[in-house]
Amino acid sequence: MDEKKALSTQDVADMLHVSKSTIYDLIKKGEICSYKVGRKVRFSESDVQDYISRSKKGQSAIHSSSNNISDFSLSGIEKKQDGFIICGQDLILDILSNYMRLHGIPALRAYIGSYDSLISLYKNKINVASAHLWDSDTDQYNVAYVKRLLPGVSTVIIHLTCRIQGLYVAKGNPKGITKWTDFGRNDITMINREYGAGSRVLLDENLKLLGIYGSSIKGYKKENQSHLAVASAVSSGEADVAVGTEKIARQVDNIDFIPLKKERYDLVVKKEDYQTPEIQTMLNIIRSAAFKNEFANIGGYDTSDMGKIVAEI
């Protein structure tokens, strides 16, 4: 290949609107192909287009790296034996794990949703859970779920970021979908997130308030495990609507985003672990200007209260 046509890590980061550390993490996971010219990492345009194409189809490369732990492997994990494990699905956690490894802590990742993340923390399988679970009774995020799902466990909830949740609809919104009540219409087909995902909990809580049963909605039982996949389903015409975050809407063609709720995305740790070197290093990282600056040009993240204690339970 002509080197002049090769793309640098910064070029690819700019194309995908993510940080350079995210690109390095994708390389490590085997999700994007690259090659080296001397010590420099380079990409072909076809490498990037192939990654984008797979992402739009809701596919990912096989995670062969030891730094990735799927929900299927959590059954055999005990955190004190197997390393420092951060649980959750957002890109921000991948970048946090990279920073921790740079500080000498071999942070591992488990890619499962909020509800199962808290259950895994309760069962002592992970060190840090992430959650964005809305409680309709209190109109608050996460606190009620931590109390319910970790009975008898003293915990600390640490704010990470705020994101905007809403609806993915086709470009131009041809069906005029603007609010939760539209899920009760007979001409609407949706695609859902998996049980326990924060977006699904937000949908189900609002459906409950409206007296709408999920079983009455076309496509409700069709699930996918990522924001990107459900957004792509709407883009392709497979569904009319899905629930997800604003950030992903910027990455998928032929969809519009209807903002509905500002959500809190928090980290949860056990209070007995709070003073450990690993947790304190994690806190120092997320409170640092360098970490916050990673998200300055990405969009979709509010880092103003990052690292603040939300509650001690």
Domain end residue (candidates: 262, 284, 301): 262
Q: What is the pLDDT of residue 81?
A: 53
| Same domain for 271 and 132 | yes
**C-beta of residue 159 within 8 angstroms of C-beta of residue 264:** yes
Per residue in 250-307, pLDDT (tens digit) is: 878 889 999 999 999 999 999 999 999 999 999 999 999 988 888 876 777 888 899 9
Supply the CATH number for residue 171's domain: 3.40.190.10
The percentage of the chain sitting over the pLDDT mark of 70, rounded to a whole number, equals: 86
**C-beta of residue 86 within 8 angstroms of C-beta of residue 128:** yes
Separation CA 245–CA 243 (nearest Å): 7
Name 185's Cβ contacts closer than 8 Å, sequence gap at least 6. none
| Same domain for 88 and 25 | no
Separation CA 170–CA 257 (nearest Å): 9
- Closest by CA to 208, choosing from 180, 239, 176, 242, is 180
Separation CA 219–CA 203 (nearest Å): 13
| Same domain for 210 and 179 | yes
Q: What is the pLDDT of residue 5?
A: 60
**C-beta of residue 39 within 8 angstroms of C-beta of residue 77:** no
Supply the CATH number for residue 293's domain: 3.40.190
Domain assignment present for residue 73? The answer is yes
| Same domain for 182 and 195 | yes
* Mean pLDDT along residues 156-171: 94
**C-beta of residue 33 within 8 angstroms of C-beta of residue 45:** no
Per residue in 62-108, pLDDT (tens digit) is: 232 333 444 334 544 455 555 789 998 888 898 899 889 888 888 88
Domain assignment present for residue 63? The answer is no
Domain assignment present for residue 61? The answer is no
* Mean pLDDT along residues 159-168: 93
Of the pLDDT bands very low, low, confident and very high (cuts 50, 70, 90), residue 219 is very high
42-46, 117-121, 155-159, 200-204: the lowest-pLDDT one: 42-46
**C-beta of residue 244 within 8 angstroms of C-beta of residue 71:** no
Per residue in 18-57, pLDDT (tens digit) is: 777 678 777 776 778 877 666 677 887 777 777 776 665 5
| Same domain for 258 and 175 | yes
Name 100's Cβ contacts closer than 8 Å, sequence gap at least 6. 84, 107, 278, 281, 282, 285
| Same domain for 169 and 221 | yes
Q: What are phi and psi of 208, to 5 degrees?
A: -60, -45
Distance of CA 299 to the CA centre of its chain: 14
**C-beta of residue 98 within 8 angstroms of C-beta of residue 19:** no
Separation CA 25–CA 61 (nearest Å): 13
Separation CA 241–CA 271 (nearest Å): 40
Domain assignment present for residue 242? The answer is yes
Q: How many CB atoms lie within 10 A of CB 307?
A: 18
- Closest by CA to 145, choosing from 155, 258, 216, 79, is 155
Domain assignment present for residue 62? The answer is no
| Same domain for 271 and 248 | no
Domain end residue (candidates: 223, 239, 262): 262
| Same domain for 169 and 151 | no
Name 11's Cβ contacts closer than 8 Å, sequence gap at least 6. 43
Question: What are 229's two structure tokens?
Answer: 């996949």
| Same domain for 235 and 111 | no
3-class DSSP assignment, residue 11? helix
| Same domain for 169 and 123 | no
Strands 40-42 and 35-37: antiparallel
Domain assignment present for residue 277? The answer is yes
- Closest by CA to 185, choosing from 244, 241, 113, is 241
| Same domain for 91 and 177 | no
Q: What is the pTM of this model?
A: 0.72
| Same domain for 290 and 247 | no
Decide if pLDDT at 311 tops 90.
yes
Domain assignment present for residue 275? The answer is yes
Q: Which amino acid is at 102?
A: L
Supply the CATH number for residue 20's domain: 1.10.1660
Domain assignment present for residue 41? The answer is yes
Question: How many independent structural domains does the chain possess?
Answer: 3
The percentage of the chain sitting over the pLDDT mark of 90, rounded to a whole number, equals: 50
**What is the residue range of 215's domain?**
165-262
